[in-house]
Amino acid sequence: MAAVGAEARGAWCVPCLVSLDTLQELCRKEKLTCKSIGITKRNLNNYEVEYLCDYKVVKDMEYYLVKWKGWPDSTNTWEPLQNLKCPLLLQQFSNDKHNYLSQVNKGKAITPKDNNKTLKPAIAEYIVKKAKQRIALQRWQDELNRRKNHKGMIFVENTVDLEGPPSDFYYINEYKPAPGISLVNEATFGCSCTDCFFEKCCPAEAGVLLAYNKNQQIKIPPGTPIYECNSRCQCGPDCPNRIVQKGTQYSLCIFRTSNGRGWGVKTLVKIKRMSFVMEYVGEVITSEEAERRGQLYDNKGITYLFDLDYESDEFTVDAARYGNVSHFVNHSCDPNLQVFNVFIDNLDTRLPRIALFSTRTINAGEELTFDYQMKGYGDLSSDSVDHSPAKKRVRTVCKCGAVTCRGYLN
Q: Which amino acid is at 164?
A: G
Task: Please state, in angstroms and rounded to a whole number, the distance separating the CA atoms of residues 21 and 26.
Answer: 9
Q: Distance between alpha carbon 132 and the CA centroid of its chain, in Å?
A: 20
398 is in an annotated binding site: yes
Does the annotation flag 27 for ligand binding? no
Task: Check the annotation: does 34 bind a ligand.
Answer: no
Cβ pair 67, 55 in contact under 8 A:
no
Q: Is residue 330 part of an annotated ligand binding site? A: yes
Backbone angles phi, psi at 96, to 5 degrees: -65, -40
Q: Check if the beta carbon of residue 317 is closer than 8 Å to that of residue 284.
A: yes
The answer to whether the annotation marks 407 as part of a ligand binding site is no
| 266 known member of a binding site | no
Q: Is residue 185 marked as binding?
A: no
196 is in an annotated binding site: yes
**Does the annotation place 191 within a ligand binding site?**
yes
**C-beta of residue 196 within 8 angstroms of C-beta of residue 241:** yes
Q: Which of 361, 385, 381, 360 is nearest to 371 (CA)?
A: 381
The answer on whether 372 is annotated among ligand-binding residues is yes
Alpha helices in 108-248 (DSSP H): 121-147, 202-205
Query: Is residue 213 annotated as involved in ligand binding?
Result: no
For the chain, helix (H) and strand (E) counts, in that order, are: 5, 18
DSSP strand E in 130-275: where?
154-157, 170-171, 176-177, 226-227, 252-256, 263-267
Residue 13 in marked binding region = no
**For 213-240, b where at least 16 C-beta lie within 10 A, e where not — what string?**
eeebbbebebebbbbbbbeebebeeebb
* Annotated binding residue 86: no
> Is 140 annotated for ligand binding?
no
Query: Which of the residues are catalytic?
Result: 280, 372
Provide the annotated binding site. 191, 193, 196, 201-202, 229, 233, 235, 239, 261-263, 330-331, 333, 372, 398-400, 405
Provide the annotated binding site for S-adenosyl-L-methionine. 261-263, 330-331, 372, 399
Provide the annotated binding site for Zn(2+). 191, 193, 196, 201-202, 229, 233, 235, 239, 333, 398, 400, 405
